[in-house]
């Protein structure tokens, strides 16, 4: 077995268990849709087969996070119960001893479908020790759960991975200081000069931090809107002049400035790598990585956390000091997860990031060539298209486009047959 296969293959199947006679069954899921203002009004309703109502449908959450847990479907004795409650009540059935011993009585990942029509906030997710410290600090300060001024909604870190279902645009990680200085050529204004001075003085990680701090601090200045407008006008002039080398960066600044007038976050985009993912391509965003998703449709999986520290491009709570404390300013290209492609007529693609909580497997299944998915632990399966027949030790379940289920460890190995495109989140 080569190194890539060793990192990305699902666990070797144990001896097949007989039909389950007790424990938590496979559960159909009812999943909440989050209506954030940047969401597409059509993509998630189309996946779910429901009529759009005109409201933005930004994220479909499939998981047990208390902020918006999935619930057991209407059939069966668990109908309407929170997945988090069901997992907590029977952790060894739901998770298996391997996962329960490692993470406790909770589902360690949160699985989402993300549909962005406009840019998400400029943000970072905290590393473990900073998540714990921030959560307890805000709790001691008396901020209740769900309070709009909370930055830390739980005590968990939040590395994440996105797999594109459509062309997907993003910013992620810092460019090198030399690259940023090149992008500033021909631009002027107070904010551009501050960034240029920070990087010319220290063309290093320290300079990138100082440049970011200068732009983030501008939010509190009385002249912020005018200073941002002057810099954006300079970018517009350069774009009009037809500078091919800066065209993509210029277009990004102008698009963000149009969505969030007066927000210096539009200028922070000049410091960050611009990324396009084609369908099937993936990006891993470790905790501490400054990023912003710009547009597109994709499947996302992350450690089970809702900690988002924002510094701009949003109508939500901005906590620039927390972002600056938690961010990494080391210049590096966006990370790509390890990927393994296997199968024949039925194609299986597994994406693995260097974290313990999650992995994703996509299976494009054709009739008569079933594929095995993750063999143990908790699994959440979503049908992206077609009709999938799921076979486990506890029975059979059919999923159609937009339908999903939770497969507990007690159900044993999981096989998919039919004519369908499914995605499975699991714990490696």
For 119-168, the pLDDT digits (tens) are 999 999 999 999 999 999 999 999 998 888 898 999 999 999 999 999 99
Task: Determine whether 310 is an active site residue.
Answer: yes
Give the residue carrying structure tokens 């900690």: 307
All structural domains of the chain, each given as residue ranges with its CATH number in brackets, are 26-171+276-326 (2.60.120.10), 175-269 (no CATH), 338-426 (2.60.120.10)
Q: What is the pLDDT of residue 1?
A: 33
The answer to whether 206 and 242 are in contact (CB under 8 A) is no
Total-model pTM:
0.92
- Say what the pLDDT of residue 23 is: 74
CA distance 126 to 154: 11
pLDDT at 88 over 50: yes
- pLDDT tens figures, 159-180: 999 999 999 999 999 999 999 9
- For residue range 25-35, list pLDDT tens digits in order: 999 999 999 99
Mean pLDDT of 327-347: 96
Residue among 27, 64, 86, 14 nearest 407 (CA): 27
pLDDT of residue 211: 98
Mean pLDDT of the chain: 93
Chain centre to alpha carbon of residue 6: 24
The residue with greater pLDDT, 13 or 321, is 321
The active-site residue out of 310, 352, 379, 401 is: 310
- Give Cα 106 to chain centroid, integer Å: 19
- What is the pLDDT at residue 118? 97
pLDDT number for residue 18: 41
Report the pLDDT averaged over residues 112-125.
97
Beta pairing class for 109-116 and 59-62: antiparallel
- Kindly state the percentage of the chain with pLDDT values over 70: 95
Extract the tokens encoding 39: 């969401």
Give per-residue pLDDT as tens, 370-398: 999 999 999 999 999 999 999 998 889 99
């Amino acid at each position: 077995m080569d190194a890539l296969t060793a990192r990305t293959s699902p666990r070797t199947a144990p001896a097949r268990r007989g039909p389950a006679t007790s424990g938590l069954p496979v559960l159909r899921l009812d999943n909440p849709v989050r209506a954030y203002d940047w969401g597409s009004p059509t993509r998630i309703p189309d996946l779910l087969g429901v009529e759009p109502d005109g409201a933005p449908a930004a994220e479909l959450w499939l998981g047990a996070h208390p902020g918006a847990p999935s619930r057991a479907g209407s059939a069966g004795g668990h109908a309407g119960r929170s997945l988090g409650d069901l997992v907590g009540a029977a952790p060894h059935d739901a998770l298996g001893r391997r996962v329960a011993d490692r993470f406790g009585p909770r589902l360690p990942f949160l699985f989402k479908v993300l549909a962005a029509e406009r840019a998400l906030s400029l943000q970072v997710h905290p590393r473990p020790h900073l998540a714990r410290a921030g959560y307890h600090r805000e709790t001691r300060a008396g901020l209740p759960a769900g309070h709009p001024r909370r930055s830390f909604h739980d005590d968990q870190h939040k590395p994440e991975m996105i797999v594109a279902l459509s062309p997907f645009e993003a910013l992620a990680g810092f460019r090198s200081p030399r690259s940023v200085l090149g992008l500033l050529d021909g631009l002027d204004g107070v904010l551009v000069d501050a960034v240029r001075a920070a990087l010319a003085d220290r063309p290093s990680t320290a300079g990138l931090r100082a440049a970011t701090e200068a732009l983030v601090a501008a939010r509190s200045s009385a002249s912020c809107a005018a200073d941002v407008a002057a810099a954006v006008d300079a970018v517009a002039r350069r774009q009009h002049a037809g500078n091919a080398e800066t065209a993509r960066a210029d277009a990004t600044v102008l698009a963000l400035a149009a969505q969030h007038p007066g927000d210096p976050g539009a200028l922070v985009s000049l410091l960050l790598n611009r990324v396009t993912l084609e369908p099937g391509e993936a990006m891993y965003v470790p905790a501490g990585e400054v990023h912003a998703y710009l547009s597109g449709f994709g499947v996302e999986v992350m450690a089970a956390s809702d900690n988002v520290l924002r510094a701009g491009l949003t109508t939500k709570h901005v906590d620039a000091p927390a972002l600056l404390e938690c961010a990494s300013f080391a210049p590096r290209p966006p990370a790509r997860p390890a990927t393994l492609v296997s199968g024949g007529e039925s194609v299986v693609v597994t994406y693995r990031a260097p974290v313990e909580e999650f992995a994703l497997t996509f299976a494009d299944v054709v009739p008569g060539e079933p594929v095995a998915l993750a063999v143990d632990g908790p699994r959440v399966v979503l049908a992206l298209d077609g009709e999938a027949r799921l076979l486990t030790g506890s029975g059979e379940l059919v999923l159609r486009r937009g339908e999903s289920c939770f497969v507990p460890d007690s159900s044993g190995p999981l096989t998919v047959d039919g004519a369908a495109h499914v995605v499975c989140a699991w714990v490696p």
